[in-house]
Structure 1
Amino acid sequence: MITRDPATTPATDLRRRLIAVGVGNFIEWYDFAIYGFFAVAIGANFFPSGDPTASLLSTLAVYGVAFLMRPLGGFVIGAIGDRRGRRFALVFSVTMMGLATALIAFLPNFATIGIAAPIILVLLRGLQGFSAGGEYTGSTAFLVENSSPQRRGLTASIIPFTGAIAVAAGAGTALLIANLPADAVLSWGWRLPFLTALPLTLLGLYLRLKLEDTEVFRELKAEGAVVTAPIRTVMTSNAKALAVAFGLSAITVLGFYYLAAYAVNYLLVTVAMAPPTALTVVGIGALVYACFCPLMGSLSDRIGRRPVSLIGGIGLALFSVPAFLLMLTGNPFLAVLGMLLFGVFQAMHISTTTVMFIELFPAETRLTGSSIGYNLAAAIVAGPGPLIAAALAAVSAGLPALYMAVVAAVCTGLLFRSLPETRWNDISANSGATSEPTDAARTAPTSREVGRGW
């Protein structure tokens, strides 16, 4: 039996895992985010129309198509992670995302190949969605299973942190490309960030191939406890955890895509902010939001996941509309303030949701359960989010965040009654997830006493 405590793992091994997973996660979400930043240019190339709003809506609809593939990716890649290992799932997801994104860079536009252009774009976006369906929870499981029990929230926050950094990097890339002449951006400039996918994917693949699988999965394998039908097991044995994961994901994924995909288009199309200014506002907002994530993850290690998560959900319900009204002023300072108002509550919710995905499910079905709950909500609730927000903005410039506020209010109300405190759950290979802390967990040392543990 493998019994080594993650807190005693050499610091160099911990840093290597952190970098490999963080870089790979950055690649995934950079690739996914740049589609949102260049939605206007993509719309002009693949959905030409005399109405810019109609082209944008078509492009955001394709953005939503990727979410429809995410549950399938969650089912398949999650099951792969529970049957073949966490490392195998991470390698699979980053390779697929990188190749699909690079192919978008070379895709001829509507003027060149006609209706085939948007059809192929939809297929490639579907592959991106399939890949993303397994990346988020797979990366989190890999990190958290290697984490000190007292710092799981902080460790898991690396995933939303690198996702936010990826959004900021995408905004910075778009800002550089915005300096090109407008016709150059529309004809070929928008393709440049997609081209970066190939070298970034090779880097992420190299780093992940050098990793060992987690001790939790190796122990499951050594004990013959690997589940042969993880999807069926989740549906029959983990239904309550699945429902909680769905509710958490509905809020947190929708919030992230308001920040990553919709905010910049809102500033460009609805507010009519100059592209360099809009990209700067979103980039600053994403960077500060990234800094909020580890703070909130660490806070949940001290006071618990449940209170931080519920406050985040309530905050999104109450302040999403005011945040976008601040952006609507067109004043860059107030727009940044709006991004930060939205971002602080989103950071509270996503940082706790990320770690609770892992703590809610037993080791043998962890990736499958968390991936299914996460991606079903992403497809059903969050996927249409940018499109619904753009449609609401077309009706009234102050309405786009109403969808976010309603989803946060409804789901938080339901979670208030059903959300367990998972901070002390045993996530080892030989213990199912439980909302009751074990004696060992109750007497465990604090994060300060752990020293070099994550």
Structure 2
Amino acid sequence: MNQPAPLPTATVTAARTSRRTVVLASSVGNFVEWFDFTLYGYTATAIAAAFFPTGNKISGLVGAFAVYGVAFVARPLGAFVFGRIGDRRGRRTSLGVSIVLMGAATAAIGLLPGWSQLGVAAPILLLICRLLQGFSAGGEYTGAMAFSIEHAPDDRRAWYLALVGSSTWLGAIGATGVVLLFQSITGDGFVNGGWRGPFLIGGVIAVIGLVLRLRVDETPVFKAMQADRPDGPPARPFRDLVRGHWRTLLILFAYFAVLGLFTHSFLGYMPTYLAEAAGFSASTVLWLVTAANILTIPVGLALAVLADRHGRRIQLRLGAVAAIVLVVPAYLLIGTGNIAAVVLALLVLLLAVSLLSAGAISVLELYPTNVRFSGMALPYNFAYAIFGGTAPLVSQALVDGTGSLLSPAVYAGVVAVLALPLLLRIPETRGANLLR
């Protein structure tokens, strides 16, 4: 039998380059999103001092965390707008608009005058910037994931998604590195204005991301759907989604509630918690969290290889059980203040998050092409608005109200227990046909 002629070297190289560009273009907006959210958590004390009245440190910190959480209120609206654009006009168009808004809002935070210059207008403007960030984030992560797997080979979808997911942790690592750099440069001046520089860097990265996204074509899966629909894109993707997939929406809301709570408890609140519960200095906290985040990347990639070979459901279930069983012991270990115990606790928490995150590929593969963007964006952003964005605020409020440093762990464990029956209903999707 005659064998097909091998592809020319130039063609193979172009395909590889295109795939690398797809991963970069998908990842960069997610990088900026998590760079900003992590940066905000690390600079909460400085932001509180700059944008809220002086004299009451606790109320200023609670105010800063409240603004952190309010950004998530705009995410469902962003999910609606960008989900509609993504399912009707294409993933590439939606991702281009979202990264422009995100970069502009991030850079603006670094330029805003503070309370001493504008008074009450300062936190209002900060709030507006955060709302714009939340709005743009409503279509960013979900769109990037849909964009990446619809470009990926069928047997490497989890791997592509893990590469994009790594940008979450790379954004957190990048924020940590930039904060450490600016702290070393500005010293005590970091709180008095040096914290603004990292936000301006986030805006520059967003511009680079826009250029990358303009160089990548629309996904082959979306193009095939367009070819199969001579009458044009679906007129009302949300109506089709709610009528035909409401059970899936409910299950995925529970999934993202647990994932969002654990992720933002770690990225948004854990630096503050380590300082309060373990008594560590700010620099020690940054180094510990950064080391844990770096380790999460190879763990996530290894789990993706297993997911492509053996399936996704087992990892998701293990992550759900780990979130229930291990969260309280992990927080107890942190409370000891022993450095080895704290490192072990951080690794345990990040293992649970990594296992849960591996289930995101199943979420995307559950939907047909015409509602995939919206079907991911809606439950993700509603759940993150309720549980993810409020995680630092609720955690701090629980500690202040109960006097127990263990109360945030109990809260997270209870949410995971309530969500478990729905999480167990997520089916195995390895090998699912994306174009359906």
TM superposition score category, shorter chain reference: over 0.9
- Please tell me whether the aligned partners of residues 252 and 363 of structure 2 are also in contact (alpha carbons under 8 angstroms): yes
Decide which of 178, 200, 204 is 2:209's aligned counterpart.
204
2:297 corresponds to 1:290: yes
- Please tell me whether the aligned partners of residues 254 and 383 of structure 2 are also in contact (alpha carbons under 8 angstroms): yes
Cα deviation digits, residues 369-399 of structure 1 (max 9, x gap): 1100111111122222111111223321222
Aligned-pair CA distance for 1:332: 3.2
Decide which of 371, 386, 392 is 1:386's aligned counterpart.
392
Q: Give the letter aligned to residue 99 of structure 1.
A: A
- Please tell me whether the aligned partners of residues 160 and 351 of structure 1 are also in contact (alpha carbons under 8 angstroms): no
What does residue 363 of structure 2 align with?
Answer: 357
For structure 2, the 5+ residue unaligned runs are 1-11
Decide which of 110, 120, 123 is 2:125's aligned counterpart.
120
Alignment of 1:365-444 (within 5 A): 365-394=371-400, 395-416=403-424, 418-428=425-435, 431=436
1:203 is paired with a residue whose SS is helix
Q: Give the letter aligned to residue 197 of structure 2.
A: L
Q: Give the letter aligned to residue 98 of structure 2.
A: S
Decide which of 227, 241, 249 is 2:248's aligned counterpart.
241
Mapped to 2, the partners of 1:277 and 1:419 lie a distance apart of 39
Mapped to 2, the partners of 1:181 and 1:195 lie a distance apart of 16
2:160 corresponds to 1:155: yes
Mapped to 2, the partners of 1:273 and 1:200 lie a distance apart of 31
What does residue 5 of structure 2 align with?
Answer: none
Decide which moves more: 390-399 or 239-248. Answer: 390-399
Aligned-pair CA distance for 1:89: 1.0
Decide which of 306, 310, 321 is 2:313's aligned counterpart.
306
Aligned-pair CA distance for 1:194: 0.3
TM-score of the pair, normalised by structure 1 = 0.89
Q: Give the letter aligned to residue 161 of structure 1.
A: S
Q: How many residues align?
A: 421
2:65 corresponds to 1:60: yes
Q: Give the letter aligned to residue 202 of structure 1.
A: V
What does residue 109 of structure 1 align with?
Answer: 114
Cα deviation digits, residues 203-249 of structure 1 (max 9, x gap): 10100001100011111222226211111111111111211211111
Aligned-pair CA distance for 1:290: 2.1
What does residue 250 of structure 1 align with?
Answer: 257
What does residue 184 of structure 2 align with?
Answer: 179
Aligned-pair CA distance for 1:99: 0.3
What does residue 227 of structure 1 align with?
Answer: 234
Cα deviation digits, residues 337-360 of structure 1 (max 9, x gap): 21111001110101222x122111
What does residue 215 of structure 1 align with?
Answer: 220
Aligned-pair CA distance for 1:180: 5.1
Aligned-pair CA distance for 1:200: 0.7
Mapped to 1, the partners of 2:320 and 2:382 lie a distance apart of 19
What does residue 71 of structure 1 align with?
Answer: 76
What does residue 342 of structure 2 align with?
Answer: 335
Mapped to 2, the partners of 1:8 and 1:189 lie a distance apart of 44
Mapped to 2, the partners of 1:249 and 1:380 lie a distance apart of 10
- Please tell me whether the aligned partners of residues 82 and 368 of structure 1 are also in contact (alpha carbons under 8 angstroms): yes
C-alpha RMSD of the superposition? 1.8
Q: Give the letter aligned to residue 344 of structure 2.
A: L
Decide which moves more: 231-240 or 277-286. Answer: 231-240
Mapped to 1, the partners of 2:58 and 2:303 lie a distance apart of 37
1:196 is paired with a residue whose SS is helix
What does residue 166 of structure 1 align with?
Answer: 171
What does residue 44 of structure 1 align with?
Answer: 49
Mapped to 2, the partners of 1:184 and 1:67 lie a distance apart of 30
Aligned-pair CA distance for 1:408: 1.4
What does residue 323 of structure 1 align with?
Answer: 330
What does residue 129 of structure 1 align with?
Answer: 134
Mapped to 1, the partners of 2:233 and 2:313 lie a distance apart of 30
2:67 is paired with a residue whose SS is helix
- Please tell me whether the aligned partners of residues 277 and 337 of structure 2 are also in contact (alpha carbons under 8 angstroms): no
Cα deviation digits, residues 6-27 of structure 1 (max 9, x gap): x999222211211222223212
Aligned-pair CA distance for 1:130: 0.7
- Please tell me whether the aligned partners of residues 175 and 275 of structure 1 are also in contact (alpha carbons under 8 angstroms): no
Mapped to 1, the partners of 2:147 and 2:267 lie a distance apart of 24
TM-score of the pair, normalised by structure 2 = 0.92
Aligned-pair CA distance for 1:181: 5.8
Decide which moves more: 60-69 or 150-159. Answer: 150-159
Mapped to 1, the partners of 2:422 and 2:249 lie a distance apart of 14
- Please tell me whether the aligned partners of residues 30 and 169 of structure 1 are also in contact (alpha carbons under 8 angstroms): yes
Q: Give the letter aligned to residue 127 of structure 1.
A: L
Identity %: 37
- Please tell me whether the aligned partners of residues 71 and 379 of structure 1 are also in contact (alpha carbons under 8 angstroms): yes
- Please tell me whether the aligned partners of residues 178 and 275 of structure 1 are also in contact (alpha carbons under 8 angstroms): no
- Please tell me whether the aligned partners of residues 186 and 194 of structure 2 are also in contact (alpha carbons under 8 angstroms): no
Aligned-pair CA distance for 1:49: 4.5
Mapped to 2, the partners of 1:51 and 1:338 lie a distance apart of 32
Decide which moves more: 279-288 or 262-271. Answer: 262-271
Aligned-pair CA distance for 1:265: 1.5
Mapped to 2, the partners of 1:302 and 1:375 lie a distance apart of 30
Q: Give the letter aligned to residue 279 of structure 1.
A: L
Decide which of 137, 140, 143 is 1:138's aligned counterpart.
143
For structure 1, the 5+ residue unaligned runs are 1-6, 432-454
Q: Give the letter aligned to residue 117 of structure 2.
A: T
Mapped to 2, the partners of 1:40 and 1:237 lie a distance apart of 46
- Please tell me whether the aligned partners of residues 28 and 206 of structure 2 are also in contact (alpha carbons under 8 angstroms): no
Mapped to 2, the partners of 1:9 and 1:424 lie a distance apart of 26
- Please tell me whether the aligned partners of residues 297 and 352 of structure 1 are also in contact (alpha carbons under 8 angstroms): no
